[in-house]
Structure 1
């Protein structure tokens, strides 16, 4: 597991490729890696948008306060709460679509995971050592 990505804040999971990997295991590993990549891309884009919008909001709000004669370096938590509320409300539908898509993609991994586990169990002799004669 890697350190957090600077934008998405997700940690990359490095999936081991065993030398005797079956087709079912390889398919499951590729599908899992694809899901991780999709997730990484979503959160990188989301967090970049969040940071950009937060910066614009902060600059605008500080300028408004300056016009009112209030000079500040940063905004209070209460002043930022308005931004957070608007950001969450504006992105609610997008978050719901992400969640449902993520659920579907994870559900889609169940059958490949079962096939990969079965393949691994078969290769290991169902947990018993089998001597070749």
Structure 2
């Protein structure tokens, strides 16, 4: 029981850390309601919106905002992974280090989406199979005479939840290790990009002073 609770806590903590990490990316981005069956991403500053079919996003669309956009774009939670898709802004005169950081972020987005989409699908299928098997053992069908869906009590479902966690213990542990490894690398790259940007600003100001050019 302790191992089950510990693993569940790690998964929840990982989700909290992920949301906290991306929160800084959301504060400049606006969301807008989109038509049923479509995914809409909206640039929070310029207010422009583009619409994509949901099927296109599930295939990991290569769509990108207009070049005039100056912010990251975020969409509604994906129906499979429950993760909001992010399209990272490509700045003008992007350096190789900035490009490396952006590509790693985008790759991590895709990796994270794929993991949880597959995991959630597996969870739903195994949960459904468990419920059907337990009802069958009782001589019951999935629905009663009135067509209402039968369910199991909390104690019966707890057996499935524990079994699922135990079976996926290594998978979840490997996910957490890879997640922290990726974000540690992202943090280091972000620090390098920030320092390079600061150094570039300082050198440009010093160069402007030497040439007698006013700086903004």
State the structure with bigger RCO (CA 8 A, min sep 6), 1 or 2: 1
1:125, distance to aligned residue in structure 2 (A): 4.2
Tell me how large the CA RMSD over aligned residues is: 2.3
Matched, 1:117 2:191: no
Question: 5+ residue gaps in structure 2?
Answer: 1-73
Distance in 2, matches of 1:111 and 1:86, equals: 38
Q: State the alpha-carbon separation in 2 of the partners of residues 85 and 29 from structure 1.
A: 38
Q: If the length of structure 1 is used for normalisation, what is the TM-score?
A: 0.83
Higher strand share: 2
CA distance, structure 2, for counterparts of residue 42 and residue 124 of structure 1 = 40
Matched, 1:65 2:65: no
Alpha-carbon contact 1:25-1:115 (below 8 Å) kept = no
In 1: Cα distance, 2:107 partner to 2:134 partner: 40
Supply the distance in 1 between the matched residues of 2:114 and 2:159 (Cα, whole angstroms). 27
Structure 1 stretches of 4+ moved >6 Å: none
Aligned length: 129
Q: Deviations over 1:61-117 (max 9, x none)?
A: 1111226xxx67111222211110100111111111111111112222233212211
TM-score (norm 2): 0.53
Distance 2:188 2:151 in 1: 51
Match of 1:108 in 2: 185
Counting helix residues as a fraction of each chain, which structure ranks higher?
A: 1
Match of 1:11 in 2: 84
| Larger CA deviation: 75-84 vs 112-121 | 112-121
Query: Over residues 14-68 of structure 1, what are the superposed CA-to-partner deviations in whole Å (9 max), with x where a residue is unaligned?
Result: 211122322211110111111111111111111111011011111111111226x
Q: Which runs of 5+ in 1 are unaligned?
A: none
8 A contact 1:28–1:113 mirrored in 2: yes
2-structure distance, mates of 1:57, 1:15: 40
Q: How far apart, in 1, do the equivalents of 2:125 and 2:201 lie?
A: 52
Provide the rounded CA distance (Å) in 2 between the counterparts of 1:106 and 1:58.
Answer: 38
